[in-house]
Structure 1
């Protein structure tokens, strides 16, 4: 008797175990009874009537991402490929609509992305496509939300993650960017060279000014020293002309001594006799006297013109 009960017990166990099923976290199971929708079961251990009820399908409630690559043409006739990433999920309260109203949500989303991108991008030039990619993404999200909400899908976010122009256009853009950088570098180099020249000229001018000031100070000191020497000689009974001749002869010999200290010097002082120094002094005094006479004559002529 017990032998015949074994098959029934086995079948009963199978029916009992088939009455239970589990639903994973962040997912939902659709239960049908005799082919008709019955209920939505959430995560956890669930119970159904064997043979009568069945799990028709399962949907993930997690956020999913779909990448769509669209090729289109811009307003300035440049072919460009845009990669649009769409993040979406099934609305928890609309699992039935998501399961029964739409068989291939990926295809539906892709169609809307193509439609919006090919409507927006041809209105823009290539530069604006890069600058306004967020506007394109917002337009895609708005259109998808309005369309997919009816089917139980919520569009979380849309992103334009890549913009890839035609290869020849990219090469031309790279050449333009390289030329702009070279132009900027040349301008900076020119500015630097100009600044260097200006600063060098300022330094040379300052050097010349200081050199002239030094020469003036040197001559002033020489003149002061000569004046003191003449005064000293006048005190011992030597008049100014004799004192000047004596100073010239002294400087003449000092110069010869300075030249003789340099063994490799090839400088020759012409003329090199004391008489030559005296003659030079006499010529200078005569020149000064003549210059003073000419100046006095010119003053007298101007005075006579004023009186007339």
Structure 2
């Protein structure tokens, strides 16, 4: 009788203890009754009917990752080798979503096999439409294509593709060598073009500098010529003014104007002698020559005076 009592107490304790279920954070427990779905248990301490309700599975709602390594063939028959990292999670915490996750596949192995093969097939289908030269530059396009293609399929399974990272894209060794040669030749071409552009810019700048120097020199020469012309004109005007004043004073003194011309004649000869720097200047120093020169100068003076009077 004592053994029966203790046995009943033991079974009662076992049943009581088995009525409590602890669900870890980040996990949802799926409860079934005789193999049929019954309800969900959220994280924390919960109760279940002993011997009737059974924990079918514990579904992790945390992010999960898996590494992929596979091969694809491009449109121009080049082998491409991919190494990728897949990040996925349960779509949401809704009851229907958790039921899909729990009952769509026999186990996690079958789920992973279907998930990996679906993603690999989507990438292979996209790569088959592209040429080898374009694949390296289309990482983002490949990821967008995969997400667009398999999002609905994964949602029907209760999962969502968080991210797909193509960590490494390689080709056969011969193709990699040829690509390296193409890159090297393009770099050499770009360097030659840059050197040509630099030389062209240098020569252009040099030509512009020479042109600007010529323009500046021409402008300076033009300004100097203008200044020289203005100086000569001013000198002539002052000479004419001085001669006119001297002639007027000599007329008032009843002196002959030819004296001025004679003075100019002698001053000119003196100037030629002092500033000739060894050059030979032939002048007619005879009385007839001096008279002829003086008459010409007087005629020029008279003509100028008439012009001045006519202008007044």
Counterpart of 1:175 in structure 2 is: 184
Match of 1:237 among 260, 264, 274: 260
Which residue pairs with 1:197 in the alignment?
A: 206
Match in the other structure for 1:101: 104
Q: Is 1:216 matched up with 2:225?
A: yes
Q: How far does residue 211 in structure 1 lie from its aligned partner after superposition?
A: 3.8
Change (3 A) 1:159 1:142: same
Residue equivalent to 1:264: none
Question: For the residues of structure 1 that align with 2:11 and 2:89, how far apart are their CA atoms?
Answer: 40
- Post-superposition offset of 1:160: 5.0
Distance 1:40 1:163, change over 3 A: same
TM-score, normalization by structure 2: 0.65
TM-fit CA distance, 1:109: 1.1
Give the structure 2 partner of residue 305 of structure 1: none
Q: In 2 relative to 1, CA 175–2 (structure 1 residues): closer, same or farther, beyond 3 Å?
A: same
Q: Secondary structure in 1 aligned to 2:187?
A: helix
Residues 174 and 207 of structure 1: CA distance in aligned 2, closer, same or farther (over 3 Å): same
Aligned to 2:291: none
Deviation, structure 1 residue 225:
6.9
User: Do the aligned residues in 2 keep the contact of 1:40 with 1:95 (CA within 8 Å)?
Assistant: no
| 8 Å contact kept, 2:101–2:159 | no
Unaligned 5+ residue runs, structure 2?
247-258, 285-312
1:21 shift after superposition: 0.8
Matched, 1:111 2:136: no
| Range with bigger deviation, 166-175 or 201-210 | 166-175
Following superposition, the deviation at residue 100 of structure 1 comes to 3.4
Shift of 1:20: 0.5
Residues 67, 86 of structure 1: 8 Å contact kept: yes
Alignment of 1:1-308 (within 5 A): 9-33=9-33, 36-43=35-42, 44-91=44-91, 92=94, 93-102=96-105, 103=107, 104=109, 105-130=111-136, 132-150=138-156, 152-162=157-167, 164-166=169-171, 167-168=176-177, 171-172=180-181, 174-176=183-185, 178-179=187-188, 181-217=190-226, 219-220=228-229, 223-224=232-233, 227=236, 235=246, 237-239=260-262, 241-252=265-276, 271=278, 276-279=279-282
Aligned mates of 2:193, 2:10 — CA distance in 1: 86
SS of 1:62's equivalent in the other structure is coil
TM-score by length of 1: 0.65
